[in-house]
């Protein structure tokens, strides 16, 4: 059907033009024009031409169908909105977008501000792995944490424990040293220090073991002074056996100063032996001052006639006769009747008397005479008088007239009391006639134990099975045996004795 107004063709069921709104009925043009004039010439507003007429079953067209609302799904959503609502829609969308962006930004900021730092997260994770016995994982985690927290001693201590778990003890020692430099060493982990020290002790690395225990003893950690003292004693005995006297001295002096441990009571005897050996060593090197220094320490511990005699000889060698006389008198005091000491004292007194007379000092005239013989001999005229002190009168030859004495004089006809005799077990030249024990004592009864220690009790070389010089060791599972094929092994989870595979 052709529109009479605009010429647009339409299907037969349409009664109005969809373009201009003209009616296809008779007079459609007139009606169209009237409608247009009545609405100010706005032809497009005359009718909703996009609507289709609704037909009835009898084929008639319902005129009201043009004014009915369509079903919502046939209509654009924006068409339902008013003009003002449509104009506000972009603003609302923009505001909603801005709010969304702000919320996302705020959430991200809160997340990053409250997120645990990587170093702390790694440290916490590493400690959990340690607690679970996952030492290999703990090493990896804590090494990363240590790289991020180079100034935190706690990380290095935890890393040290992880290294111990995987049997990397030297790395553990280095980690502890790093923590010590940062001001928080093994004092914070005393059990870790003891474990490491025991490891080093079993492998003969005593210095590292002692370095670990000393800070604990210094800070009065319970039981650590005794542990340090016992380790010192063990190390000192080994040094003494190998002739390292300086090291032995240092170890046993520390035992003495700590005043704790199972072997504290042995400290004075050990030190006496060390002092005596060192005095003899320095004397043989003609270092008399050091020799006398150690003899003084030795005599302060154990007053022995031989030590005083040795000191007297050194003083005499250095022309210090007064000091030599004092030491010889002490030798006589702390010995049974020994003619040798009396003879030496007489000789020293004679030499000192001559020195005094040469210096014009006559008050001590009798000092140049043998003990107890000065005045009687002078009265007998045996000596030549004040100016010839010590010079014998040829008419009265003096000497030892006892044939059993070491200094028997066959030409003497008057005993001057100078006879001296060999000590028990010695000849007149001082040579030992019997067996010398491990303490270098002639005729002594000290013996070496199975550990090679003189007068020892076999306790210094026990293995974990309490066998002297045994081969049993304690493995990582706490089993003590001497079969290396039976040692504890790690499973794939780095757990000693585990069964994971």
CATH number at residue 218: 1.25.40.10
Whole-prediction pTM value? 0.46
Question: Is the pLDDT higher at 279 or at 19?
Answer: 279
pLDDT score of 471: 76
Share above pLDDT 70 across residues of the chain, in percent, rounded to a whole number: 72
- Contact of 307 with 285, CB cutoff 8 Å: no
- Contact of 311 with 299, CB cutoff 8 Å: yes
- The beta-carbon contacts of 48-51 under 8 Å, at least 24 apart in sequence, are 49/16, 49/17, 49/18, 49/19, 49/21, 50/18
| Polymer length in residues for the chain | 501
Q: Is residue 40's pLDDT more than 50?
A: no
CA distance 376 to 76: 154
164-195 residue pLDDT tens: 888 887 888 888 778 777 766 667 778 877 87
Rg of the chain, C-alpha, whole Å = 57
CA distance 177 to 211: 10
Q: Which of 39-48, 71-80, 187-196 has the lowest mean pLDDT?
A: 39-48
* Domain termination residue (choose one: 204, 222, 240): 222
CA distance 355 to 144: 81
pLDDT score of 414: 61
CA distance 447 to 60: 140
- Beta strand 414-415 with 480-481 is unpaired
Would residue 53 count as lying in a domain? yes
Would residue 157 count as lying in a domain? yes
Structure tokens at 449: 């134990």
Q: Indicate whether 134 and 38 sit together in one domain.
A: no
Q: Is residue 383's pLDDT more than 70?
A: no
Would residue 25 count as lying in a domain? yes
Structure tokens at 458: 């076999």
* Domain termination residue (choose one: 222, 246, 276): 222
Q: Is residue 387's pLDDT more than 90?
A: no
With CA atoms as reference, report the closest residue to 343 among 404, 402, 431, 407: 407
Q: Domain range holding 29?
A: 1-70
Q: What is the mean pLDDT of residues 367-391?
A: 40
Q: Indicate whether 47 and 130 sit together in one domain.
A: no
Structure tokens at 23: 């009616």
Cα–Cα–Cα angle for 437, 438, 439, nearest 5°?
A: 90
Helix (H) or strand (E) holding 42: none
Q: What is the mean pLDDT of residues 81-103?
A: 69
Count of structural domains, the chain: 3
Would residue 43 count as lying in a domain? yes
Residues 6+ apart with CB under 8 A from 86: 78
Would residue 197 count as lying in a domain? yes
For helices 118-131 and 153-165, the axis angle rounded to 10 degrees is 40
CA distance 438 to 440: 5
Would residue 470 count as lying in a domain? yes
208-253 residue pLDDT tens: 888 888 888 888 888 999 999 999 999 999 999 898 999 999 999 9
CA distance 491 to 501: 6
Would residue 500 count as lying in a domain? yes
- The beta-carbon contacts of 369-378 under 8 Å, at least 24 apart in sequence, are 370/346, 370/416, 370/417, 370/418, 371/342, 371/345, 371/346, 372/417, 373/416, 373/417, 377/416
- Contact of 374 with 367, CB cutoff 8 Å: yes
pLDDT score of 128: 87
pLDDT score of 246: 92
Q: Which residue has the tokens 């030992």?
A: 432
* Domain termination residue (choose one: 222, 257, 285): 222
- Beta strand 54-55 with 61-62 is antiparallel
Q: Which residue has the tokens 């504290």?
A: 264
Q: Indicate whether 38 and 120 sit together in one domain.
A: no
Helix ranges (H only) for 334-368 are: 339-358
343-359 residue pLDDT tens: 888 778 777 767 766 66
Would residue 492 count as lying in a domain? yes
């Amino acid at each position: 059907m052709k529109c009479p107004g605009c010429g647009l063709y339409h299907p037969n069921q349409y009664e109005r033009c969809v373009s201009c709104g003209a009616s296809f009925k008779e007079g459609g043009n007139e009606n169209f024009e009237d409608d247009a004039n009545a609405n100010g010439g706005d032809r497009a507003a005359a009718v909703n031409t996009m609507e289709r007429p609704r037909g009835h079953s009898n084929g008639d067209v319902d005129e009201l169908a043009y004014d009915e609302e369509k079903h919502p799904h046939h209509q654009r959503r924006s068409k339902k909105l008013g003009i003002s609502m449509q104009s506000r829609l972009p603003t609302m969308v923009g505001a909603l977008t801005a709010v969304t962006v702000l919320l996302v930004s705020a959430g991200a900021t809160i997340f990053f501000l409250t997120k645990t730092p990587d170093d702390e997260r790694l440290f916490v994770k590493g400690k959990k792995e340690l607690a679970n016995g996952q030492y290999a994982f703990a090493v990896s985690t804590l090494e990363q944490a240590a790289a991020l927290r180079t100034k935190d001693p706690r990380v290095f201590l935890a890393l040290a424990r992880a290294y111990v778990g995987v049997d990397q003890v030297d790395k553990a020692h280095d980690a502890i040293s790093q923590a010590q430099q940062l001001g928080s060493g093994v004092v914070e982990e005393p059990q870790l220090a003891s474990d490491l020290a025991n490891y080093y002790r079993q492998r003969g690395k005593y210095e590292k073991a002692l370095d670990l225990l000393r800070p604990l003893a210094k800070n009065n950690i319970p039981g650590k002074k005794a542990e340090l003292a016992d380790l010192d004693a063990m190390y000192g005995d080994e040094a003494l056996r190998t002739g390292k006297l300086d090291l032995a001295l240092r170890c046993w002096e520390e035992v003495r100063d700590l005043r704790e441990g199972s072997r504290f009571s042995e400290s004075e005897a050990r030190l006496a032996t060390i002092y005596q050996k060192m005095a003899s060593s320095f004397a043989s090197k003609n270092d008399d001052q050091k020799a006398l220094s150690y003899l003084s320490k030795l005599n302060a511990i154990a007053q022995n006639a031989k030590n005083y005699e040795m000191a007297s000889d050194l003083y005499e060698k250095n022309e210090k006769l007064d000091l030599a006389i004092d030491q010889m008198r002490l030798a006589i005091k702390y010995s049974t009747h020994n003619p040798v000491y009396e003879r030496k004292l007489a000789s020293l007194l004679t030499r000192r008397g001559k020195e005094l007379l040469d210096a014009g000092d006559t008050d001590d005239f009798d000092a140049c005479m043998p003990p107890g013989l000065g005045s009687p001999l002078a009265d007998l005229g045996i000596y030549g008088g004040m100016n010839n002190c010590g010079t014998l009168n040829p008419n009265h030859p003096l000497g030892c007239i006892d044939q059993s004495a070491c200094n028997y004089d066959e030409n003497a006809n008057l005993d001057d009391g100078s006879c001296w005799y060999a000590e028990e077990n010695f000849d007149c030249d001082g040579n030992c006639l019997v067996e010398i024990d491990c303490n270098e004592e002639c005729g002594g009864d000290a013996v070496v134990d199975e550990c090679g220690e003189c007068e020892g009790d076999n306790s210094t070389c026990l293995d974990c099975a309490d066998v002297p010089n045994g081969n049993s060791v304690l493995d990582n599972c706490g089993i003590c045996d001497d079969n290396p094929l039976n040692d504890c092994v790690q499973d794939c989870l780095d757990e000693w004795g585990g069964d994971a595979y």
